[in-house]
Amino acid sequence: MPTPAFDSLMMRRALDLARLGTGHTRPNPLVGCVVTHEGRVIGEGWHRQYGGPHAEVNALAAVTDESLLTQSRVYVTLEPCAHHGKTPPCADLLVAKGVAEVVVCNLDPNPLVSGRGLEKLRAAGIKVETGLLEAEGRWLNRRFFTSQEKKRPYVVLKWAETADGYLAGPYYQPVPISGDLARVAVHQWRAEEQAILVGTRTALHDNPHLNVREWPGPNPTRVVIDKNLSLPPTHNLFDGKQPTVVYTYREKANKGHVDYVMLSEAEDLFPQILGSLHQRNVQSVLVEGGPTVLNSLLKDGLWDEIRVLRSPRRLNGGVTAPKPGLSGLREHRKLGDDELFVYVNGSTR
């Protein structure tokens, strides 16, 4: 019988494997799998790409001696699927291979799976254990769980502020605040989140590209709020190089990679936007400002994670950064001369 320490070690390995799929499996979750026999790893794999083989398929395919599977213990970070999607059900595969035991980190909240995978395994006589490193698994797949349970994307608020609490110069004049390491981190975050959102003023004054340049990974879908369609069509957001969604109160036909979505002025703005993004299968959105957008989402409690980059630089005036009075600090570390503070909403933990 494996020890609790061995079980935890194997599940952590499965979680590490799952992370390798970051940015490539969405809207599917990140899943890793490790197959062991008498305390030895005989196969492992992860879900590499949306539409491709799942983690269990890849892990079982890596086992060179399938006769060992009848005495194997399989560790998987999410409940094996029980329905036909892009690929056949993984629960059926585990049953067909005759594995002895399956240890699951998280149950799948997807109603197409939700408990059915475990039922199939148990009905076939496979011993099933659940909940190992459950909190770590939920954090890994926090975007997937938020999408399934809250019917909206996982919302990450990000801003850079000076030591004296400003995020732009007077009259929203763009000024460099963060250093090189912080800038690379921001591009990594853009690659990890499915969409990136800015308001009209930020789009107008900064004229951002909102793409990924200093980190390997896919560009996010650009999302901009332009209630009255006041942004110049020559701005970088409309260069057609990546999908862009414009939320507006005015009707306008789609053009190329730019979709115009008309919202109701009678309803709250951000619930409409987040609901629309959820319908587009967007699981996460990185909000890069500006202060009006950030403060509105903070006021409404429509956020899951906040990342603040604090620079030692001082501006002595300008546009004030949000001051939400946060608790729930999850991470604090140095990035060159800057400091990173990561906060998690209480409803997310």
Q: Is 56 tagged catalytic?
A: yes
**pLDDT of 220:** 96
Pick the last residue of a domain from 109, 140, 171: 140
pLDDT, block means (10 residues), the chain with 349 residues: 94 98 90 97 96 96 97 97 77 97 95 86 97 97 96 97 94 90 97 96 94 94 97 96 97 95 96 98 94 95 97 95 88 97 82
Of residues 69, 112, 127, 115, the one with CA closest to residue 93: 69
Are 93 and 189 contained in the same domain? no
CB 302 within 8 A of CB 270: yes
Are 171 and 55 contained in the same domain? no
- Say which CATH number the domain at 70 has: 3.40.140.10
**pLDDT of 12:** 98
Are 164 and 284 contained in the same domain? yes
Cα–Cα dist 177/343, whole Å: 20
Is position 62 within any domain?
A: yes
- Domain of residue 268, residue span: 150-344
**pLDDT of 257:** 93
**pLDDT of 326:** 79
**pLDDT of 172:** 85
Are 230 and 316 contained in the same domain? yes
Active-site position among 38, 44, 56, 267: 56
Pick the last residue of a domain from 117, 140, 163: 140
Number of domains in the chain: 2
Are 160 and 125 contained in the same domain? no
**pLDDT of 84:** 63
Pick the last residue of a domain from 122, 140, 158: 140
Is position 238 within any domain?
A: yes
279 burial level (CB within 10 Å; 0-12, 13-18, 19+): exposed
* Run of H or E including 300: helix 291-300
Are 182 and 309 contained in the same domain? yes
